[in-house]
Amino acid sequence: MPVESGQQSSRHSNKAPSALIFDSGVGAISIAREIRRQMPGLTLHFGIDNGFYPYGTKPEDTLGPRIVDIASRMVSACDADLLVVGCNTASTLALPELRQTLRQPVVGVVPAIKPAAAGSRTGTIALIATEGTVNRRYTRELIDQFANSSRVINVPAPELVALAEAKLRGETIAAADLAPVIERLFSGPHGETLDTAVLACTHFPLLRDELSAASPRPLTWLDSGDAIARRVRWWLDELKLTLPSEPHSSQLLTSSEHQSEQILQAFGEFGPTYQHQAIAVRL
Ligand code: DGL
């Protein structure tokens, strides 16, 4: 369970407040940009499980225990005040276990189905996510709870994960690369009335401009970055942590040395003062 505020604030009184943002890859960046925009003084560490990327196609019984093991060891390694699970595939699977394991608060990403259903004028929304997130019980329950009277087009789009990674490595993403996803959005049942698309994978907001340009007509593209950042702010207040005007130096933790240089480069916008650390995987 999340720890009570008093314990946290006294224990960490001598260091700069920090959050660890966890993901399988560069999706953490879309969440981090929103947190940095709202809280420039919060030190952001990154925990990237690149050794098990991509998450979206992995079976739940392997992925769940791995996320809990590696994310908790990454939180300890950088002594973060809170964990932000910057990954829908991980959040929809492992949030309860992470909250049971960690004494720090855990903020998870929830697909923006509720605001999408509330804001859609036509009543047709699309859920674009990894296969894991689309098929998750958690996601089905969210839809039942908040989008019961909407038409929901499910669009598993694992290829967008790889395209977002490629974009952050400096590659240009062409409209043709996105055509299969655009086709799945508009050409199936109810596609003609679609007006709102939920980007329910943190990699996807990194491709928002490209998706919007490739779309045959304007859609509202919703993600959860703003909601996550507001929840982080709420926790900082709850823990009575005051932010300095500038963040302190960050740590980039990875589970594999594979492509560490490229990862370091992709996260460079969050500070020049990274320390890189590889975290050994136990499972
Ligand atoms: N960024 C992750 C998410 O939000 C998953 C990407 C992957 O498949 O590893 O779902």
CATH numbers and ranges of domains, the chain:
2-7+15-110+226-278 (3.40.50.1860), 113-223 (3.40.50.1860)
Q: Is 30 in the pocket of ligand 1 (CB under 6 A)?
A: no
Cα 33 from Cα 114, distance rounded (Å): 22
Q: Judge contact between 90 and 58, C-beta under 8 A.
A: no
Q: Is 56 in the pocket of ligand 1 (CB under 6 A)?
A: yes
The pLDDT confidence band at residue 265, using thresholds 50, 70 and 90, is: confident
Q: Is 53 in the pocket of ligand 1 (CB under 6 A)?
A: yes
Question: Is residue 78 annotated as part of the catalytic site, yes or no?
Answer: no
Q: Judge contact between 251 and 218, C-beta under 8 A.
A: no
pLDDT tens digits for range 96-126: 999 999 999 999 999 999 999 999 999 999 9
pLDDT of residue 129: 98
Q: Who wins on pLDDT, 127 or 269?
A: 127
Exactly one of 20, 201, 239, 252 is catalytic; name it.
201
pLDDT of residue 262: 82
The pLDDT confidence band at residue 4, using thresholds 50, 70 and 90, is: very low
pLDDT of residue 15: 85
**Sign (positive or negative) of CA dihedral 258, 261, 267, 271:** positive
DSSP 52: G
Would the pTM of this model clear 0.75, i.e. be above it? Answer: yes
In the predicted model, is pLDDT for residue 24 greater than 80? yes
